[in-house]
Structure 1
Amino acid sequence: MIRVEVVLAWPDRAEARQLELADGATVAAAVAAAAIDGSEHCPAVAVHGVLAKLEQMLLDGDRVELLRPLLADPKDNRRKRAGVR
């Protein structure tokens, strides 16, 4: 058995689930087992901050992060703060 954490964060809150899964469990299995509301709208996942594929096998202690879609282009935001058009 392995223990993993699945996390989904919003600007005002975060939800996390601690799971015990069978050895050889994948990112997809962890996301499904966590059943966090809104996870179906997340276009990507990361393991410890590194983009991961759904078929990637997990190790004991891994943290799976559900990545929400960007609401704004980071480059445009930096340009606005810098006053550049």
Structure 2
Amino acid sequence: MAEQRRLQVQLCYAAPGLQVQKDLEVEEGCTIQQAIIASGLLREQPSIDLSVCKVGVFGKIKPLEAPLRERDRIEIYRPLIADPKESRRRRVAHKEQAAR
């Protein structure tokens, strides 16, 4: 029986006051979700909810079922607190008021 190839991947997560980077070794064919679970990060950070948070590899959104490749960097993205368009509108309005 052929030995399963192992892949080196990295898991990244950031929150206010917290930055996590874990180097992992997973079996070839492992999915993003399997690697996140195997990392233990969900036990360490129970606030991470994979049904809400998006995940990606090198800045590109991917489904949890996506298979990993050698040297992939898995990223867990937190949900946005504010709508970026609305935040920009408030900044512009504030600058216009300050200029008067």
Give the TM-score normalised by the residue count of structure 1.
Answer: 0.89
Aligned twin of 1:11? 16
2:29 pairs with 1:24: yes
- Structure 1 residue 23, shift from structure 2 partner: 0.7
Identity, in percent, stands at 33
2:92 pairs with 1:82: yes
Following superposition of structure 1 onto structure 2, how do residues 1-85 of structure 1 map, counting pairs within 5 Å? 1-36=6-41, 37=45, 38-40=47-49, 42-83=52-93
Larger-gyration structure (1/2): 2
Runs of 4 or more off by more than 6 Å in structure 1?
A: none
For the aligned residues, what is the CA RMSD?
Answer: 1.5
Task: Measure the CA separation in 1 of the matches of 2:16 and 2:59.
Answer: 17
Task: Measure the CA separation in 2 of the matches of 1:75 and 1:10.
Answer: 22
- Structure 1 residue 34, shift from structure 2 partner: 1.6
- Structure 1 residue 56, shift from structure 2 partner: 0.4
Task: Measure the CA separation in 2 of the matches of 1:39 and 1:62.
Answer: 20
**Which one scores higher on RCO, CA 8 angstroms, separation ≥ 6?**
1
Contact 1:8 1:39 in 2 (8 A): no
Which blocks of at least 5 consecutive residues in structure 1 are unaligned? Answer: none
Q: Which has the higher helix share?
A: 2
- Structure 1 residue 33, shift from structure 2 partner: 1.2
Equivalent residue pairs, number: 84
Q: What is the CA deviation profile of residues 31-62 of structure 1, one whole-angstrom value per residue up to 9, with x for unaligned ones?
A: 10122213326521011100000110000100
Which blocks of at least 5 consecutive residues in structure 2 are unaligned? Answer: 1-5, 95-100
